[in-house]
Amino acid sequence: MSTVTTTKPSPTAAAPAGGPVLADEGRIGLRGNLRHIGALARRNVLQIKQDPESMFDVLFMPIIFTLLFVFVFGGAISGKGNQDEYVNYVVPGLMAMMGMNIAMGVGTGVNDDFKKGVMDRFRSMPIARSSVLIAKIVVELGRMMVAIAILLGMGFLLGLSIKGSILDLFLSIGLSAVFGSSLMWIFILLGLTMKTPQAVQGMAMLVLMPLQFGSSIFAPPTTMPGWLQSFTDVNPLSNLADAARALINGTPLGNSVWITLAWSVGITLVTMPLAVRKFRQKT
């Protein structure tokens, strides 16, 4: 007489793709999240190493913009022969612009990863969805620091003088990084919403151009029409540029630092949950 042996399925047996990932995601602790972020950030850095041309914007954009604005607009704004004065005005403003331009690349990168199927691979892995996005922001912040270092180096070559303390200089860099990281969540959300990287870039330019040129980055707003001055006053890039300029030049800060921090926190609180939710829906 033969016997039939039945085996109960193991509780650790493989489940359909997607089930355990979503179930485990909520149980991933802080240490696990940090480990995932570190691994994914390393993956993004290796991508840059394999494609060094992706660093061209970081390496050359600060040089081109500094030379362009100092020698094209410096004499007209500060008077012929007073480019040094304009350097101390525009370089802190360009720090704000660097963060915004680099943040745009995060959105196109996320969109491109979906097109290449990279996100399908992440979907099959038991990792927190937010770690994929945070890792991208960590790497882009590193790229931003490289751009700001080159920008300041060009500024020093053209006559930039730090009239505040070294601590004030680092505070201005940190403030630019905080605001830049908040902007990255906006562009990540755009990258998750738009269908193509070209659409992300086009929409980003529609946002970038009015904010950059309708601000105090390149010229004092006192010569602007009244309606444009009103826009400049509430433009977060103006507050960041004014804060960085005051820290570097040793002038009174006013409320520009606190307003910039408030913008950074507000943008992050609104867009980060939306971006993570959209990312989970797409994966």
pTM listed for this prediction: 0.81
Average pLDDT score over residue span 213-240: 90
Higher pLDDT, 27 or 90: 90
Residue 246 pLDDT: 93
Residue 28 pLDDT: 66
When mean pLDDT is compared across 72-76, 92-96, 170-174, 184-188, the lowest value belongs to 72-76
Residue 124 pLDDT: 67
User: What is the residue-wise DSSP string for the chain?
Assistant: -------PPPTTS---TTHHHHHHHTT--HHHHHHHHHHHHHHHHHHHHH-GGGGHHHHHHHHHHHHHHHHHTHHHHH-TT-HHHHHHHHHHHHHHHHHHHHHHHHHHHHHHHHHHTHHHHHHTS---HHHHHHHHHHHHHHHHHHHHHHHHHHHHHTT----S-HHHHHHHHHHHHHHHHHHHHHHHHHHHHSSSHHHHHHHHHHHHHHHHHTSSSSS-GGGS-HHHHHHHHH-HHHHHHHHHHHHHHT---TTHHHHHHHHHHHHHHHHHHHHHHHHHHH-
66-87: per-residue pLDDT in tens? 998 888 877 677 666 667 788 9
pLDDT confidence band for 3 (50 / 70 / 90): very low
pLDDT confidence band for 22 (50 / 70 / 90): very low
136-167: per-residue pLDDT in tens? 899 999 999 999 999 999 999 998 999 888 99
Distance CA 190, CA 204 (A): 8
